[in-house]
Amino acid sequence: MSWKKALFQVKGKSYYDGGLGCGTLFGLPDGTLWAAYAGIIVHFYPNSNTCDEYRAAVFGGGFLYSSWGTSSNNMYFVGKSGVILHFDGTNWTKMESGTTENLEEISGTSNINIWATGYSGHNHTVLTHYNGSLWKVDSISFIPTPLTGGFGSVWCGDSAGHRITIASGSIVYRKTDDGPWRNPDSGKVPNYDGGSYIGIGVRANSHNDLFAIGPWGLITHWNGASWKRYDQFFAPSASGYMTGGASVKGNTACIVGTKDGASWILLGQRQ
Protein backbone atom coordinates (compact mmCIF):
# COMPACT_ATOMS: atom_id res chain seq x y z
CA MET A 1 0.00 0.00 0.00
CA SER A 2 1.43 3.38 -1.04
CA TRP A 3 0.20 6.48 0.79
CA LYS A 4 -0.04 10.17 -0.03
CA LYS A 5 -1.34 13.18 1.83
CA ALA A 6 -4.56 14.56 0.39
CA LEU A 7 -6.28 17.91 0.29
CA PHE A 8 -9.85 18.50 1.27
CA GLN A 9 -12.17 21.15 -0.12
CA VAL A 10 -14.18 23.66 1.88
CA LYS A 11 -16.21 26.26 -0.05
CA GLY A 12 -13.96 26.01 -3.07
CA LYS A 13 -10.69 26.39 -1.18
CA SER A 14 -8.11 23.70 -0.54
CA TYR A 15 -6.83 22.96 2.94
CA TYR A 16 -4.50 20.57 4.70
CA ASP A 17 -5.99 21.51 8.03
CA GLY A 18 -8.75 23.53 9.60
CA GLY A 19 -10.88 20.98 11.39
CA LEU A 20 -13.61 18.70 10.11
CA GLY A 21 -17.02 19.87 11.27
CA CYS A 22 -19.14 16.72 11.31
CA GLY A 23 -19.27 14.09 14.02
CA THR A 24 -20.31 11.45 11.51
CA LEU A 25 -20.76 11.45 7.74
CA PHE A 26 -22.50 8.66 5.83
CA GLY A 27 -22.75 8.49 2.04
CA LEU A 28 -25.18 6.52 -0.11
CA PRO A 29 -24.50 5.19 -3.64
CA ASP A 30 -26.73 7.86 -5.21
CA GLY A 31 -24.49 10.61 -3.83
CA THR A 32 -26.73 11.54 -0.91
CA LEU A 33 -24.89 12.45 2.29
CA TRP A 34 -26.11 12.35 5.90
CA ALA A 35 -24.18 14.23 8.57
CA ALA A 36 -24.82 14.13 12.30
CA TYR A 37 -23.07 16.19 14.92
CA ALA A 38 -24.28 16.43 18.53
CA GLY A 39 -28.05 16.82 18.21
CA ILE A 40 -28.17 18.05 14.61
CA ILE A 41 -28.82 15.85 11.56
CA VAL A 42 -28.32 17.21 8.04
CA HIS A 43 -29.47 15.51 4.83
CA PHE A 44 -27.50 16.72 1.77
CA TYR A 45 -29.11 16.01 -1.61
CA PRO A 46 -26.95 14.81 -4.53
CA ASN A 47 -26.01 17.33 -7.24
CA SER A 48 -27.72 20.08 -5.31
CA ASN A 49 -26.90 22.90 -2.94
CA THR A 50 -29.95 22.13 -0.83
CA CYS A 51 -30.28 20.18 2.40
CA ASP A 52 -32.72 19.38 5.18
CA GLU A 53 -31.83 19.88 8.83
CA TYR A 54 -33.36 18.01 11.76
CA ARG A 55 -33.03 18.36 15.53
CA ALA A 56 -32.61 14.98 17.23
CA ALA A 57 -34.15 16.19 20.50
CA VAL A 58 -37.51 16.69 18.73
CA PHE A 59 -37.64 12.93 18.08
CA GLY A 60 -36.43 11.83 21.50
CA GLY A 61 -32.74 11.75 20.65
CA GLY A 62 -29.75 13.60 22.03
CA PHE A 63 -26.04 13.60 21.27
CA LEU A 64 -25.46 11.42 18.19
CA TYR A 65 -22.26 9.59 17.26
CA SER A 66 -22.84 7.51 14.12
CA SER A 67 -25.23 6.78 11.24
CA TRP A 68 -25.92 4.02 8.72
CA GLY A 69 -28.67 3.09 6.30
CA THR A 70 -29.67 1.36 3.09
CA SER A 71 -31.27 4.47 1.57
CA SER A 72 -32.51 7.91 2.55
CA ASN A 73 -35.82 6.20 3.32
CA ASN A 74 -34.16 3.86 5.80
CA MET A 75 -31.57 5.63 7.97
CA TYR A 76 -30.44 4.80 11.52
CA PHE A 77 -28.65 7.11 13.98
CA VAL A 78 -27.12 6.08 17.32
CA GLY A 79 -25.83 8.07 20.24
CA LYS A 80 -25.66 8.84 23.91
CA SER A 81 -27.50 6.72 26.51
CA GLY A 82 -28.46 4.02 24.02
CA VAL A 83 -30.42 6.28 21.68
CA ILE A 84 -31.33 4.86 18.26
CA LEU A 85 -33.36 6.97 15.82
CA HIS A 86 -34.84 5.67 12.57
CA PHE A 87 -35.95 7.76 9.58
CA ASP A 88 -38.21 6.19 6.92
CA GLY A 89 -38.14 9.14 4.54
CA THR A 90 -41.05 10.86 6.23
CA ASN A 91 -41.28 9.90 9.89
CA TRP A 92 -38.75 9.73 12.73
CA THR A 93 -38.99 6.95 15.32
CA LYS A 94 -37.07 6.43 18.54
CA MET A 95 -36.29 2.70 18.78
CA GLU A 96 -35.84 0.60 21.91
CA SER A 97 -32.16 -0.36 21.88
CA GLY A 98 -32.09 -2.57 24.97
CA THR A 99 -29.27 -0.55 26.56
CA THR A 100 -28.51 2.79 28.20
CA GLU A 101 -24.81 2.63 27.30
CA ASN A 102 -23.49 5.19 24.81
CA LEU A 103 -23.69 3.76 21.29
CA GLU A 104 -20.73 5.01 19.30
CA GLU A 105 -20.98 3.21 15.98
CA ILE A 106 -23.49 1.40 13.75
CA SER A 107 -23.05 -0.82 10.69
CA GLY A 108 -25.12 -3.38 8.79
CA THR A 109 -25.61 -5.39 5.63
CA SER A 110 -29.39 -5.10 5.32
CA ASN A 111 -32.46 -4.01 7.24
CA ILE A 112 -32.46 -7.36 9.07
CA ASN A 113 -28.79 -7.38 10.05
CA ILE A 114 -27.61 -4.23 11.82
CA TRP A 115 -25.14 -3.92 14.72
CA ALA A 116 -24.48 -1.00 17.08
CA THR A 117 -21.76 -0.84 19.72
CA GLY A 118 -20.29 1.31 22.46
CA TYR A 119 -18.91 1.19 25.98
CA SER A 120 -18.74 3.06 29.27
CA GLY A 121 -16.01 3.58 31.82
CA HIS A 122 -17.63 1.10 34.20
CA ASN A 123 -16.04 -2.10 32.88
CA HIS A 124 -18.90 -2.66 30.46
CA THR A 125 -19.15 -2.79 26.70
CA VAL A 126 -22.29 -3.31 24.64
CA LEU A 127 -22.98 -4.77 21.22
CA THR A 128 -26.62 -4.88 20.15
CA HIS A 129 -28.17 -6.46 17.03
CA TYR A 130 -31.27 -5.59 15.00
CA ASN A 131 -33.02 -8.43 13.15
CA GLY A 132 -35.65 -6.31 11.41
CA SER A 133 -38.08 -6.46 14.33
CA LEU A 134 -36.18 -5.67 17.52
CA TRP A 135 -32.79 -4.79 18.98
CA LYS A 136 -31.19 -7.40 21.26
CA VAL A 137 -27.98 -7.07 23.27
CA ASP A 138 -25.45 -9.75 22.28
CA SER A 139 -23.88 -11.94 24.96
CA ILE A 140 -20.36 -10.73 24.06
CA SER A 141 -21.39 -7.44 25.69
CA PHE A 142 -20.85 -8.96 29.10
CA ILE A 143 -17.12 -9.52 28.69
CA PRO A 144 -15.49 -6.90 30.98
CA THR A 145 -14.25 -3.80 29.17
CA PRO A 146 -10.57 -4.25 30.21
CA LEU A 147 -10.50 -7.57 28.36
CA THR A 148 -11.94 -6.13 25.15
CA GLY A 149 -10.73 -2.55 25.27
CA GLY A 150 -14.37 -1.50 25.08
CA PHE A 151 -16.02 -1.97 21.68
CA GLY A 152 -16.11 1.44 20.05
CA SER A 153 -16.22 0.21 16.46
CA VAL A 154 -18.20 -2.30 14.42
CA TRP A 155 -18.12 -3.21 10.73
CA CYS A 156 -20.46 -5.52 8.79
CA GLY A 157 -20.10 -6.86 5.29
CA ASP A 158 -20.91 -9.71 2.94
CA SER A 159 -18.11 -12.03 1.93
CA ALA A 160 -18.63 -15.02 -0.38
CA GLY A 161 -22.30 -15.16 0.53
CA HIS A 162 -21.67 -14.99 4.28
CA ARG A 163 -22.43 -12.18 6.71
CA ILE A 164 -19.28 -10.99 8.45
CA THR A 165 -19.31 -8.82 11.58
CA ILE A 166 -16.16 -7.40 13.18
CA ALA A 167 -16.14 -5.57 16.52
CA SER A 168 -13.06 -3.91 17.96
CA GLY A 169 -11.69 -2.12 20.99
CA SER A 170 -8.12 -3.12 21.78
CA ILE A 171 -8.97 -6.63 20.55
CA VAL A 172 -10.67 -7.60 17.27
CA TYR A 173 -13.51 -10.14 17.38
CA ARG A 174 -15.08 -11.70 14.29
CA LYS A 175 -18.42 -13.40 13.74
CA THR A 176 -19.59 -15.26 10.62
CA ASP A 177 -23.34 -15.58 10.00
CA ASP A 178 -24.90 -16.78 13.27
CA GLY A 179 -21.79 -18.59 14.46
CA PRO A 180 -19.75 -17.86 17.61
CA TRP A 181 -17.51 -14.86 18.10
CA ARG A 182 -13.85 -15.68 17.48
CA ASN A 183 -10.79 -14.01 18.91
CA PRO A 184 -7.83 -15.87 17.42
CA ASP A 185 -4.28 -15.34 18.62
CA SER A 186 -4.00 -12.71 15.91
CA GLY A 187 -6.85 -10.74 17.43
CA LYS A 188 -4.57 -8.43 19.38
CA VAL A 189 -3.87 -5.44 17.19
CA PRO A 190 -0.18 -4.37 17.29
CA ASN A 191 0.14 -1.12 19.20
CA TYR A 192 2.68 0.99 21.05
CA ASP A 193 5.36 -0.62 23.20
CA GLY A 194 4.26 -2.14 26.44
CA GLY A 195 0.53 -2.18 26.41
CA SER A 196 -2.94 -1.98 25.08
CA TYR A 197 -5.47 0.78 24.80
CA ILE A 198 -9.01 1.46 23.71
CA GLY A 199 -10.10 3.44 20.69
CA ILE A 200 -9.29 1.21 17.73
CA GLY A 201 -11.64 1.55 14.79
CA VAL A 202 -11.97 -1.03 12.04
CA ARG A 203 -12.97 -0.87 8.35
CA ALA A 204 -12.68 -3.69 5.85
CA ASN A 205 -13.31 -5.20 2.45
CA SER A 206 -13.58 -8.64 4.07
CA HIS A 207 -12.53 -10.41 7.25
CA ASN A 208 -9.14 -11.10 5.66
CA ASP A 209 -8.63 -7.58 4.31
CA LEU A 210 -9.16 -5.01 7.02
CA PHE A 211 -7.62 -1.89 8.51
CA ALA A 212 -7.54 -1.06 12.22
CA ILE A 213 -6.83 2.55 13.16
CA GLY A 214 -6.39 4.36 16.46
CA PRO A 215 -4.56 6.92 18.57
CA TRP A 216 -1.12 8.32 17.69
CA GLY A 217 -1.50 7.65 13.98
CA LEU A 218 -2.02 3.91 14.34
CA ILE A 219 -2.75 2.38 10.92
CA THR A 220 -2.43 -1.37 10.61
CA HIS A 221 -3.66 -3.98 8.12
CA TRP A 222 -4.77 -7.60 8.61
CA ASN A 223 -4.37 -9.89 5.56
CA GLY A 224 -5.77 -13.06 7.11
CA ALA A 225 -2.41 -14.24 8.43
CA SER A 226 -0.63 -11.30 10.07
CA TRP A 227 -0.82 -7.62 10.98
CA LYS A 228 1.26 -4.95 9.22
CA ARG A 229 1.65 -1.59 10.98
CA TYR A 230 2.58 1.47 8.92
CA ASP A 231 5.28 2.83 11.17
CA GLN A 232 5.87 5.98 9.11
CA PHE A 233 2.65 7.40 10.58
CA PHE A 234 2.88 5.96 14.10
CA ALA A 235 4.15 8.33 16.81
CA PRO A 236 3.08 7.25 20.34
CA SER A 237 5.02 10.12 21.93
CA ALA A 238 3.11 12.79 19.99
CA SER A 239 0.37 14.80 21.68
CA GLY A 240 -2.94 15.71 20.10
CA TYR A 241 -2.46 13.03 17.42
CA MET A 242 -5.46 10.89 16.51
CA THR A 243 -6.46 8.69 13.60
CA GLY A 244 -10.17 9.37 13.68
CA GLY A 245 -11.91 7.64 10.78
CA ALA A 246 -11.43 5.44 7.73
CA SER A 247 -13.14 4.20 4.60
CA VAL A 248 -11.94 1.20 2.60
CA LYS A 249 -13.18 0.07 -0.80
CA GLY A 250 -11.32 -2.32 -3.05
CA ASN A 251 -7.69 -1.23 -3.39
CA THR A 252 -8.24 2.26 -1.97
CA ALA A 253 -8.20 3.38 1.66
CA CYS A 254 -8.95 6.88 2.93
CA ILE A 255 -7.99 7.72 6.52
CA VAL A 256 -8.58 10.98 8.38
CA GLY A 257 -7.39 12.36 11.70
CA THR A 258 -6.13 15.32 13.67
CA LYS A 259 -2.72 16.42 14.94
CA ASP A 260 -1.93 19.50 17.01
CA GLY A 261 -5.35 20.94 16.20
CA ALA A 262 -5.04 20.43 12.42
CA SER A 263 -6.87 17.89 10.26
CA TRP A 264 -5.11 15.51 7.90
CA ILE A 265 -6.18 13.02 5.23
CA LEU A 266 -4.24 10.05 3.84
CA LEU A 267 -5.10 8.20 0.65
CA GLY A 268 -3.69 4.69 0.30
CA GLN A 269 -3.58 2.79 -3.00
CA ARG A 270 -2.73 -0.91 -3.25
CA GLN A 271 -0.45 -1.61 -6.19
pLDDT of 217: 84
Instruction: Tally the C-alpha atoms within 13 A of residue 186's C-alpha that lie toward its C-beta.
Output: 14
Enter the DSSP assignment of 215. B
pLDDT (tens digit, 0 to 9) for every residue of the chain, 271 residues total? 777 765 544 333 333 333 334 467 788 888 888 888 788 888 988 877 788 889 888 888 788 889 999 999 999 999 988 999 999 999 999 999 989 888 989 999 999 999 999 887 667 889 999 999 999 999 888 887 777 778 888 988 877 778 888 888 777 888 888 888 887 545 455 554 444 555 678 888 887 888 888 888 888 888 888 888 888 888 877 878 877 788 888 898 888 888 887 788 888 888 7
Q: Which residues contact 139 (CB under 8 A, 6 or more apart)?
A: none
**Per-residue model confidence (pLDDT) at position 13:** 34
Topology annotation, domain 21-253: Methylamine Dehydrogenase; Chain H (2.130.10)
Global pTM value: 0.82
**Residues 253, 232 contacting (CB under 8 angstroms):** no
Provide the pLDDT for residue 199: 62
The CA-atom distances, in angstroms, between 101 and each of 81, 165, 264 are 5, 20, 30
**pLDDT (0 to 100) of residue 3:** 72
Q: What is the pLDDT of residue 94?
A: 94
**pLDDT for res 195:** 42
- Residue 175: what are its φ and ψ, rounded to 5°? -135, 135
pLDDT computed for residue 19 by the predictor: 33
